[in-house]
Amino acid sequence: MKTMAKPNDREQLRQEDIERIKKLRPMDDDFLRELLRNNLPLTREILRIIMQKDDLILLKAQPQYDLKRSSGARGLCLDVWAKDSNERIYNLEIQRRDGGAEPHRARYHSAALDVDNLRKGQDFEMLPDTYVIFITENDIFGEGAAFYNIERINSVTGKPFNDGEHIMYVNGAYSGDSDIGRLMHDFRCTDPDEMYNEMLAEKTRYLKESSKGLNRMCKIIEEVKIETIKEIARNMINDGMDNNAIARLTGLTIEEIQKIAEEKELVTV
């Protein structure tokens, strides 16, 4: 970026960022990623409740997991990727917009997980079971259920297809005196003192109240701002705007705009 804020301006911007951080919830994907970063126990706790498996053992978990892809295909950066002791793969996604949980997106996530988990020369039977889990802010199916499980069946026999692909929608608006009801309550909370789950409350408190946590979150917010400006520049480039005009409107340098133009085909979503 071309301009540097003055010290007083930087302090004001930091205070504005801290106010934004106070309003963040686990239902916000950027915040959830930080809650689960390097935090296998909390990731396991959330998946244990969603999957209703008390014996769930997670081996690995990674927020912002970039899936490999074929040349020219649309990329994916998963909110959270995880693998359990039975080699099952989980993709946890926060979808605040109803349109973000459109069925074709779930299909694409499942397909991308398959491509990511089958090596050259391996038999198709080696594909692991995959679980694409969308936590939606609203009850997009409108039935008041906590979970909506999507499974393939043979329409003639009525029996499960058993291809190992599983899609689940978790109703983020669900409330009730149950593990999932309390978890979704916590996902809607901004105040850790109002959360039921102590692990989630503790990490939320760290990110919102400790100096190290706040520094980390301020950095994340700054990165989001920069990425937003770059996304605006990508749209301007796609609309055929002149680089000088884009630089004037966004504050980016000509070199930065040229780099974005070169990389725009590689942008993940």
Q: Residue 218: phi, psi to the nearest 5?
A: -65, -40
Predicted local confidence at residue 6, as pLDDT: 57
Q: Got the DSSP string for 179-210? A: HHHHHHHHHT-S-GGG-S-HHHHHHHHHHHHS
Q: Got the DSSP string for the chain? A: ------HHHHHHHHHHHHHHHHT--TTSHHHHHHHHTT-HHHHHHHHHHHHT-TT--EEEEEEEEEPP--TTSPB-EEEEEEEETT--EEEEEEE-SGGGG-HHHHHHHHHHHHHHT--TT--GGGPPPEEEEEEESS-TT-S--SEEEE--B-TTT--B---SEEEEEEETT--SSSHHHHHHHHHT-S-GGG-S-HHHHHHHHHHHHSHHHHHHHHHHHHHHHHHHHHHHHHHHHHTT--HHHHHHHH---HHHHHHHHHHGGG-B-
Contact indicator for 250, 229 with CB cutoff of 8 Å? yes
Give the pLDDT band (50/70/90) at residue 12. Answer: confident
What interhelical angle do 211-238 and 243-250 show, nearest 10?
A: 150
Can you read off the two tokens belonging to residue 145?
């259920």
Write down the pTM of the prediction: 0.84
Residue holding tokens 């081996």? 59
Query: Comparing C-alpha atoms, which of 224, 251, 221, 223 is closest to residue 236?
Result: 251
Q: Is the pLDDT of residue 106 over 50?
A: yes
Query: Comparing C-alpha atoms, which of 230, 228, 231, 203 is closest to residue 217?
Result: 203
- Span 111-126, pLDDT tens digits: 999 999 998 899 999 9
Return all residues near 169 (Cβ < 8 A) that are at least 6 apart.
101, 133, 134, 136, 140, 141, 147, 148, 150
Give the pLDDT band (50/70/90) at residue 30. Answer: very high
Q: What angle do CA 175, 180, 181 make, to 5 degrees?
A: 15
Contact indicator for 122, 128 with CB cutoff of 8 Å? no
247 versus 134: the higher-pLDDT residue is 134
Report the distance separating Cα 165 and Cα 114, nearest Å: 9
Q: What is the mean pLDDT of the chain?
A: 91
Report the distance separating Cα 127 and Cα 58, nearest Å: 18
170: left (phi over 0), alpha (psi -120 to 50) or beta: beta
- Span 141-160, pLDDT tens digits: 999 999 999 999 999 999 99
Predicted local confidence at residue 266, as pLDDT: 42
